[in-house]
Amino acid sequence: MANVRLEDIKRRFNNVTAIEDISFEIPDGEFWVLVGPSGCGKSTILRTIAGLETATSGKLFIGDRLMNNIPARQRDVAMVFQNYALYPHMTVAENIAFGMQMRKVDRKVIQDRVLNVARSLSLEHLLDRKPKQLSGGQQQRVALGRAIARQPQVFLLDEPLSNLDAQLRDDTRAELKQLHQNVGITTVYVTHDQVEAMTLADQIVVLNRGRIQQIGDPQSIYANPANQMVASFLGNPPMNILPAIAQYEGFNVSGQLLEIPTTLQAKLQLHQGKSVDLGIRPEHITINTDSAAITENSALLSVEVKVVEPLGRETLIRASVPDSSVLLNVQVGGAVRLHPGDRLSLQLDLNHLFVFDSTTGDRIF
């Protein structure tokens, strides 16, 4: 096993800069997830670590050894892609054993390792089958098993679950997490799925347009996003974004004043008159049924109900702010008696309000 360190990695393709200023260090044994929208540079970073791509500049270390000029096959990394190409004429056992046979590992060792890997991925009963006799999820587990059996220093996974249907994806995701808990190989996992990032990662690296936006553990990135891109990317339903103008007493949201307490007014002083985007997550909005129940450090906003979606344990309400095109997601516990067209007063928890510069997306507070 090994740590992985990237120092100021840049990759340019002709005149397109795919990634730049990429620096981070993954401690030995941790599971890191690279996440971001399509084209943000995730795969380029992963392929650079694998040795399938050469950095235009910067340094890559695996286990403190400089890897820039080391060919892919000598890097002792194993990579699994979304299209888990298994050898169709080989059984599951032969597929898992293949990499070890190529490296002339002792037969008995191979046998033991195949069994161990199959056990940890619940594949024991399938060892004699050929890939076409397996489901997609089983095939992907074999591909994972083949990579793990090689006992690489680093495990690289590029959207390994994206070809699976929703249920299989959830199951395989949980297995992958358990597998990492068992074997503890340093892992870099690429996805554009924020749920996978949140559930699997020790640390998440959020990327946008080839640059790192934020690095942190899932909870702290969710609770304390560095900018509007990160804030909007993580969370389902996503964070609500309300365009507003900063004023002395609060924020003007399409003609409604969202009043804020004096402590926040002081923070806002430098930004008066500025266009901002207010960010608030659906779980930090409540329905204000009784004016006496207004809690401290909250602000009121009038909206009109558009859609009510009962989800069993909770209800998702989509509501519009009058005189604007803004739609808000509100998540409330249990069932509610609401209908499209109802007028509501919402209470926004200002302890969880983010304010972003509407031009740059930078966080103001």
Please name the amino acid found at residue 272. Answer: Q
Among 82, 27, 75, which residue's Cα sits nearest to residue 48? 75
Q: Is 164 helix (H, G, I), strand (E, B) or coil?
A: coil
Nearest-approach distance from CB 172 to ligand ATP, in angstroms: 19
Measured in whole angstroms, the distance separating CA 205 from the mean position of its chain's CA atoms is 8
Q: Is 107 helix (H, G, I), strand (E, B) or coil?
A: helix
Nearest-approach distance from CB 46 to ligand ATP, in angstroms: 8
Tokens for 89, please give them. Answer: 């004429």
361 lies in the site for ligand ATP, by CB under 6 A: no
Among 13, 87, 248, 365, binds ligand ATP (CB under 6 A): 13
Q: Which is nearer to ligand ATP, 10 or 130 (CB)?
A: 10
Phi, psi (deg, nearest 5) at residue 91: -75, 175
Q: Which is nearer to ligand ATP, 16 or 270 (CB)?
A: 16
292 lies in the site for ligand ATP, by CB under 6 A: no
Tokens for 209, please give them. Answer: 């347009």
Q: Is 65 helix (H, G, I), strand (E, B) or coil?
A: strand
Among 144, 154, 152, which residue's Cα sits nearest to residue 5? 154
Tell me the number of residues near ligand ATP by CB under 6 A.
12
186-225 mask for ligand ATP (x: CB under 6 A)?
A: ------x---------------------------------
CA dihedral (333, 335, 337, 340) in degrees, to 10, reads 80
| Cα torsion 230, 233, 235, 240: sign | positive
Among 43, 120, 187, 194, binds ligand ATP (CB under 6 A): 43
15 lies in the site for ligand ATP, by CB under 6 A: no
Nearest-approach distance from CB 5 to ligand ATP, in angstroms: 19
Among 2, 5, 33, 42, binds ligand ATP (CB under 6 A): 42
Nearest-approach distance from CB 84 to ligand ATP, in angstroms: 16
Please report, for residues 1, 44, 66, the alpha-carbon distance to residue 51 in angstroms, rounded to integers and kept in the order given: 17, 10, 12
78 lies in the site for ligand ATP, by CB under 6 A: no
69 lies in the site for ligand ATP, by CB under 6 A: no
Nearest-approach distance from CB 184 to ligand ATP, in angstroms: 26
Of 42-50, 81-89, 232-240, 348-356, the window that binds ligand ATP (rule: CB under 6 A) is: 42-50
